């Protein structure tokens, strides 16, 4: 089974007796029930409800030795460590960057890989993304291509922060976190929870990352304006071949569809589908 190394990912370890409670009270998903062999997709939000960081969380160890490994964008490791440090106060936790030691891998297969991993779990966002692992540097030979992972991610409709939405500027619903197991609406309070809950219960999500397909060859490059006639309705993001993702104003997309107006980007026609996980 091919192991795809994700070189743009970093790792932050949160340990100590209060680690579970500390993380559970901060992030969008349920950490209190997370067990070894599982992963949670989470975000740490600003008080205003916008995504500052998103990451996969793995539980490692048992009892008093339990710690949590956060698989996050490598470029954001330093900022994430600082942000978590701001919330420590008197909590008995340690926050340690581990990117120099641990490497993130993806396995695009349904069966569990046999790998010497520190943490190994199914990717909770989509079955199409298979398994994720964190392992010591050099412990797992990389034999798959990164383009294969990106193609699977785009085909599954899974957004990537910094490409499909901007950190500090997007709400969880806009990044489809409510549709891809990134938000637990029953866990109680966390930073930004009131905004996320209000968006859900009042159906206030006006924008989302939506998948599209073009029959005219290669999908447009990221950052291209999506237009319905003469009206700008969004921006393109990730793409692979003829498929891609775009952050779109849902009301304007619906109006264009009802009026029979084509949506285009860089002169290429785009046919949109419902966001991943949406009915």
CATH number at residue 11: 3.30.70.1400
Q: Of 139, 156, 173, which closes a domain?
A: 156
Same domain assignment for residues 31 and 152? yes
Residue 91 domain boundaries: 4-156
User: What's the pTM?
Assistant: 0.95
**Beta carbons within 8 Å of 5's beta carbon, 6+ residues apart:** 103, 104, 105, 140, 142, 146
Same domain assignment for residues 8 and 146? yes
d(CA 241, CA 215): 10
| Number of independent structural domains in the chain | 2
CATH number at residue 232: 2.40.30
Please check the confidence at residue 279 and state whether its pLDDT lies above 80.
Answer: no
d(CA 74, CA 215): 35
pLDDT tens track for 55-92: 999 999 988 889 999 999 999 999 999 999 999 998 99
Average pLDDT taken over every residue of the chain = 95
The confidence band for 116, taking pLDDT boundaries of 50, 70 and 90, is very high
- Residue 277's pLDDT is 66
Same domain assignment for residues 243 and 147? no
What percent of the chain lies above the pLDDT cut of 90? 89
In a domain, 113, yes or no: yes
Same domain assignment for residues 29 and 142? yes
| Phi, psi dihedrals of residue 245, rounded to the nearest 5° | -125, 150
Q: Of 89, 123, 156, which closes a domain?
A: 156
């Amino acid at each position: 089974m091919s192991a795809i190394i994700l070189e743009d990912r970093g790792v932050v370890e949160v340990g100590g007796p209060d680690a579970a409670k500390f993380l559970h009270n901060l992030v969008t998903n349920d950490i209190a029930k997370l067990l070894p062999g599982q992963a949670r997709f989470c975000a740490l939000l600003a008080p205003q409800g916008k995504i500052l960081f998103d990451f996969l969380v793995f539980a490692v160890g048992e009892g008093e030795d339990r710690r949590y490994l956060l698989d996050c964008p490598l470029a954001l490791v330093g900022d994430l460590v600082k942000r978590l440090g701001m919330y420590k106060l008197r909590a008995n936790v340690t926050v340690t960057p581990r990117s120099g030691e641990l490497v993130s891998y993806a396995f695009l297969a349904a069966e569990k890989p046999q790998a010497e991993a520190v943490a190994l779990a199914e990717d909770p966002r989509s079955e199409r993304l298979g398994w994720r692992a964190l392992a010591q540097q050099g412990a797992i030979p990389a034999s798959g291509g990164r383009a294969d992972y990106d193609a699977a991610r785009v085909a599954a409709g899974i957004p990537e922060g910094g490409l499909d939405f901007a950190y500090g500027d997007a709400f969880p619903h806009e990044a489809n976190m409510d549709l891809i197991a990134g938000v637990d609406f029953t866990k109680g309070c966390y930073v930004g929870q009131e905004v996320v809950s209000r968006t859900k219960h009042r159906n206030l999500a006006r924008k989302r990352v939506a998948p599209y397909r073009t029959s005219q060859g290669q999908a447009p490059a990221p950052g291209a304006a999506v237009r319905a006639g003469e009206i700008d309705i969004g921006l393109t993001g990730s793409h692979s071949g003829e498929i891609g993702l775009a952050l779109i104003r849902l009301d304007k997309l619906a109006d264009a569809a009802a009026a029979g107006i084509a949506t285009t980007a860089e002169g290429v026609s785009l046919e949109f589908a419902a966001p991943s996980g949406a009915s």
